[in-house]
Amino acid sequence: MNEYYMTKQGGRNDYKLKEFTVNTDADIAKLPTDDSICPGSSAIVISSSEVYMLNTKKRWQKVGTTTEVTLEQATEDISESSEKTESEDLSDVLNALKEINEGE
């Protein structure tokens, strides 16, 4: 099974504007960026409800940001998020609460 599914293609067979649906943000890096697809093509991420568009540099970019997604970056983001332990998460919460209390 592919990591993406083309849900729509423009009005003519030779038109390269395409829409995809993927499961996670990490799947965006697996979408095509070759000459079979043109800038303005889009992808919807089911798990996060984010929308990405292929920019003129042939990179997938989250709509409303300047963040471009590459396979290397997506892999790094997944690795970093899986390395964080529950105690580190709790520590982050406690530090945020301390900052709030100090501000009052």
Domain residue ranges of the chain, discontinuous segments joined by +: 4-103
5: left (phi over 0), alpha (psi -120 to 50) or beta: beta
Residue-wise pLDDT tens digits, 25-83: 999 999 999 988 888 899 999 999 999 999 888 899 999 876 666 556 555 655 555 55
Sheet holding 51-54, edge to edge: 4-9, 18-22, 42-45, 51-54, 60-62, 68-69
pTM of the model: 0.55
Amino acid at 41: S
Report DSSP state, residue 31: S
Residue 18 near residue 41, CB atoms below 8 Å: yes
